[in-house]
């Protein structure tokens, strides 16, 4: 199978935390170093890689700090949290990947982390129905303080109250031209972390950040289309997508046509809160002109790139 020259590699949160989910700085650095060894293997094999990543645990940490300091320091907005985590994860990935490339004799390759904005539609229906849970669970009395600051919180029963925010559709990558310039200069970009910083255009054309979170896999599919990538590979914590996941008849999906996968999605095989967005992202990418999309685990990244592992989706 021919290896596509340009690949978008979308890393999930498991690529940046320990197996037990710890997100201490030292744990994140160690996990990222191991992840970048796999990515360096792709680059050493001749693939033009664009890295993107999730930021859920990192934003969760910032939100917790917001809550603890709420009575003395105004809480940071979600667009600021997204920018901070993009920069922190990006510089850690860049340093780790450059070191891994040097060990392979590729010390001349540069890596650049680009803080990236993603345009969303201010009229997106998601803004009228905040439904994406973020952060930790709190008792109602604690949540009420943040509700008083204008935040939306929902009652999750015995577990407590949790903040809910809009998750609008990504429409445009503002830094697309800068990313093309980096790729043309043979620089490996780290971009659109956490789906990008969500921004809207005001009627006069000015941009402003909004309180929302974006699905990083859907943004990765958009990133792949605007950069002309042949492959999208979504790295998660399972080796394949599954039919009847969690049930007695669960079975992994290997190579599959996009039309067949969309049929399975329509029949409710993929949960909205877990595999569903990943399935939708790979379908958008392949149906939008991509050559191939793969969902697999980190350890299968290199064979997944070649279409020999994971769930391989083709037109």
> Which residue is catalytic, options 12, 14, 56, 82?
14
> Which residue is catalytic, options 30, 41, 65, 132?
132
Catalytic annotation present for 196? no
> Which residue is catalytic, options 12, 56, 278, 290?
278
Q: Is 228 in contact with 184 (CB distance < 8 Å)? A: no
Catalytic annotation present for 240? no
User: At which residue do the structure tokens 């020999």 appear?
Assistant: 308
Report how far apart, in Å, the C-alpha atoms of 240 and of each of 68, 235, 245, 256, 269 are.
39, 10, 10, 12, 13
> Which residue is catalytic, options 61, 82, 90, 216?
216
Report how far apart, in Å, the C-alpha atoms of 267 and of each of 39, 247, 279 are.
34, 15, 13
Catalytic annotation present for 65? no
Catalytic annotation present for 13? yes
Catalytic annotation present for 132? yes
Q: Is 217 in contact with 270 (CB distance < 8 Å)? A: no
Conformation bin of residue 286: beta by default, left when phi > 0, alpha when psi is -120 to 50: alpha
Active site residues: 13-14, 132, 216, 278
């Amino acid at each position: 199978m021919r290896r596509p020259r340009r690949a978008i590699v979308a890393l999930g949160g498991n690529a940046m935390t320990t197996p037990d989910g710890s997100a201490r700085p030292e744990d994140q650095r160690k996990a990222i170093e191991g992840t970048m060894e796999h990515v360096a293997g792709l680059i050493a094999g001749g693939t033009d890689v664009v890295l993107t990543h999730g930021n859920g645990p990192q934003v969760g940490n910032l939100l917790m700090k917001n809550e603890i300091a709420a009575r003395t320091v105004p809480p940071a907005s979600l667009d600021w949290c997204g920018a901070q985590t993009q920069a922190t994860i990006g510089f850690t990935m860049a340093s780790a990947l450059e070191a891994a490339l040097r060990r392979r004799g590729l010390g001349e390759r540069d890596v650049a982390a680009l803080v990236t904005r993603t345009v969303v539609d201010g009229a997106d229906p998601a803004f009228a129905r905040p439904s994406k849970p973020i952060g930790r669970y709190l008792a109602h009395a604690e949540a009420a303080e943040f509700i008083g600051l204008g935040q939306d919180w929902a009652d999750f029963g015995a577990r407590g109250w949790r903040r809910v925010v809009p998750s609008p559709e990504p429409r445009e990558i503002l830094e697309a031209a800068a990313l093309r310039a980096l790729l043309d200069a043979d620089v490996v970009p780290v971009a659109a972390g956490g789906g990008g910083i969500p921004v809207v255009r005001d009627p006069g054309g000015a941009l402003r950040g909004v309180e929302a979170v974006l699905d990083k896999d859907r943004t990765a599919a958009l990133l792949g289309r605007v950069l002309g990538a042949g492959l999208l590979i979504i790295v998660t914590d399972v080796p394949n997508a599954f039919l009847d996941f969690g049930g007695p008849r669960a079975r992994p999906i290997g190579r599959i046509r996009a039309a067949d996968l969309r049929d399975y999605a329509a029949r409710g095989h993929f949960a909205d809160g877990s595999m569903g967005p990943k399935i939708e992202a790979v379908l958008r990418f392949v149906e939008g002109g991509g050559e191939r999309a793969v969902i697999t685990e980190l350890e299968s990244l290199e064979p997944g790139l070649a279409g020999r592992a994971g769930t391989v989706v083709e037109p």
